[in-house]
């Protein structure tokens, strides 16, 4: 009977390698969780609505209004989603025909762009970013635009942590005008808000921006994100989103987080984590086990280590959970480290110093 069920599964799903989220691969079993780019600093919320017998609004008007005020865009330019991940999926669902259309994906970057396309049966054109700078390869993007409907760009990029050149993004928007949508994933933009492309929504109707409350707002547990785009794009996406995507508790907490008081708390949290990132990078530069530190404008850093596998396993056994990146294009020997509290960052450095000392004694430095 099981074999018969397997025959019913779509061929592309049978071959699919699912996204390995931090929780799916067992990365919650530790006391220093630095593998999921979550905030280590939380703010408690009290649920104000406690009656749930009625369905919520599809797009809670108070939530849309709150995010409109925060982001500085019109309410009709906003769609609330279950995290930015649902936004990635909805755009493919609305704009791409299986067997006909394609997306462009620029590794190394967030894998869910590729995985959602695979699930939907959409062709993926990989145009790798330029090695070590991780900037867009505009020449090869232009060569691959045939049948492309969507281009996914993570800005700042995950897992490399870099921002994408504004000049390149503008060139890309102009290159694809009336041809394709540029999906700019700004999940980490609160860590460097001056680099947001949100002000270009008025000028470029093919620009779509993804946002989330999971990172700087420290609300990964409620799964709330937003799509910002031209009102006609939002109208189309409203046709394919599920009837009740935003639950009443999620909306209630998200609205609280977007009040002036909690926005200031978020900004203070960002400032603290940015300081911790600078401290951690400066400390890492002094260690013999570190091969290269990539520049970052986010709440994580990408580091190339000597003996990265041994470091990962040693940390895992001690309850410090990092994220392997070595299987991604051009990221051999790399680990991604989420920025923790100062105490957590200090523990990482102390453990690496211990490892480096042993490493040096073995004559491998």
Show Cβ contacts of residue 338 under 8 Å, excluding neighbours closer than 6 positions: 33, 34, 35, 36, 37, 38, 40, 299, 300, 323
Cis peptide bond prior to 68, omega within 30° of 0: no
What pLDDT digit, counting tens, does each position of 269-307 carry? 999 999 999 999 999 999 999 999 999 999 999 999 999
Do strands 300-305 and 290-293 pair parallel, antiparallel, or not at all (unpaired)? antiparallel
E strands along 3-92, which residues? 32-33, 78-81
Report the candidate in 14, 39, 344, 34 with the shortest Cα–Cα distance to residue 217.
Answer: 39
pLDDT at 365: 45
Extract the tokens encoding 237.
């996406």
pLDDT at 22: 76
pTM for this prediction: 0.95
Show Cβ contacts of residue 54 under 8 Å, excluding neighbours closer than 6 positions: none
What pLDDT digit, counting tens, does each position of 240-278 carry? 999 999 999 999 999 999 999 999 999 999 999 999 999
Rounded mean pLDDT, 330-345:
98
Is 208 in contact with 91 (CB distance < 8 Å)? Answer: yes
Mean pLDDT of all residues belonging to the chain: 94
Rounded mean pLDDT, 10-33:
81
* Residue 304, strand partner residues: 292, 334
Task: Enumerate domains of the chain plus CATH numbers.
Answer: 2-39+262-360 (3.90.1150.10), 61-261 (3.40.640.10)
Do strands 181-185 and 207-212 pair parallel, antiparallel, or not at all (unpaired)? parallel
Rounded mean pLDDT, 214-226:
98
């Amino acid at each position: 009977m099981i074999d018969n069920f397997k025959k019913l599964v779509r061929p592309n799903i049978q071959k699919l390698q699912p996204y390995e989220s931090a929780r799916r691969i067992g990365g919650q079993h530790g006391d220093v969780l630095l593998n999921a780019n979550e905030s280590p600093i939380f703010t408690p919320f009290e649920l104000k609505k406690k009656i749930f017998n009625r369905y919520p609004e599809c797009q809670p008007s108070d939530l849309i209004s709150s995010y409109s005020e925060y982001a500085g865009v019109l309410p009709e330019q906003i769609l609330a989603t279950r995290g930015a991940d649902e936004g990635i999926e909805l755009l493919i669902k609305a704009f791409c025909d299986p067997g006909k259309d394609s997306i462009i994906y620029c590794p190394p970057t967030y894998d869910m762009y590729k995985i959602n396309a695979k699930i939907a049966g959409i062709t993926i054109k990989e145009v790798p970013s330029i090695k070590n700078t991780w900037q867009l390869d505009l020449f090869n993007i232009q060569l691959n635009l045939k049948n492309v409907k969507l281009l996914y760009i993570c800005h700042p990029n995950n897992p490399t942590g870099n921002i994408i050149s504004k000049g390149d993004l503008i060139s890309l928007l102009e290159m694809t005008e009336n041809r394709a949508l540029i999906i700019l994933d700004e999940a980490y933009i609160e860590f460097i808000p001056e680099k947001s492309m949100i002000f270009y929504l008025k000028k470029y109707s093919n620009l779509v921006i993804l946002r989330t409350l999971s990172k700087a707002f420290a609300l990964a547990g409620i799964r709330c994100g937003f799509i910002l785009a031209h009102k006609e794009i939002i109208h189309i996406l409203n046709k394919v989103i599920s009837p009740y995507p935003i639950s009443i508790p999620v909306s209630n907490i998200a609205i609280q987080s977007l009040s002036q008081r909690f926005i200031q708390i978020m900004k203070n949290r960002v400032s603290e984590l940015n300081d911790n990132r600078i401290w951690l990078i400066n400390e890492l530069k002094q260690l013999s086990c570190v091969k290269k530190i990539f520049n970052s404008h986010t709440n994580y850093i990408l580091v190339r280590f000597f003996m990265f596998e041994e470091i990962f396993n040693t940390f895992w056994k001690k309850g410090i959970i990092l994220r392997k990146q070595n299987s991604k294009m051009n990221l051999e020997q790399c680990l991604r480290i989420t920025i923790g509290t100062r105490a957590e960052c200090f523990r990482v450095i102390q453990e690496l110093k211990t490892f480096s000392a042993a490493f040096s004694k073995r004559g491998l430095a």
